[in-house]
Amino acid sequence: MTDETTLRDVLDRQARERNAQLDADIAAVLETPAGRRALMGLLAKSGVWQRTGCGDGDAVRLAYAAGRRDAGADLLGACNRAAQAAVARAMQENNERVGRWNEEIQSARQRMTEGTR
């Protein structure tokens, strides 16, 4: 065994250990309701589900938006790799939460409309 092979083996093992620990940490965080809400909030802020185009052609804004979106995609990928079921649960919970918010908004609008009649 050469020194180079030994070093490569050590570096590979350490990388596997870091990745395994990161996956375990992500899974632990996503087991909590707060962790799932935080994930969905961070993904929304990253713009991962939005188009990255800029109507005004500003290349700097486009690059910034693309970078944010890429970071969100990396986060989503890491979470899916570590805890796909928890990500699906986070999305379901988020959809239910947004649905309740939308119902509340609709109800408030309806009350306003009825009050102006």
CA neighbor of 44 nearest in space, from 77, 81, 72, 74:
72
- Pairwise CA distance, residues 60 & 66, whole Å: 10
CA neighbor of 41 nearest in space, from 107, 116, 91:
91
- Pairwise CA distance, residues 14 & 75, whole Å: 21
Q: In this structure, are residues 58 and 116 in contact, taking their beta carbons and an 8 Å threshold?
A: no
Q: In this structure, are residues 87 and 28 in contact, taking their beta carbons and an 8 Å threshold?
A: no
- Residue spans per domain, the chain: 3-115
Q: Dihedral sign for Cα 28, 34, 38, 40, please.
A: positive
- Pairwise CA distance, residues 69 & 91, whole Å: 18
Residue 114, token pair as written in the block: 């009825």
CA neighbor of 86 nearest in space, from 30, 41, 33, 23:
30
Per DSSP (E only), the strands in the chain are none
Write down the pTM of the prediction: 0.81
What string of pLDDT tens digits covers the 117 residues of the chain?
A: 566 779 999 999 999 999 999 999 999 999 999 999 999 999 999 999 988 777 787 899 889 999 999 999 999 999 999 999 999 999 999 999 999 999 999 999 999 988 766
Q: What is the pLDDT of residue 1?
A: 54
Q: What is the pLDDT of residue 4?
A: 72
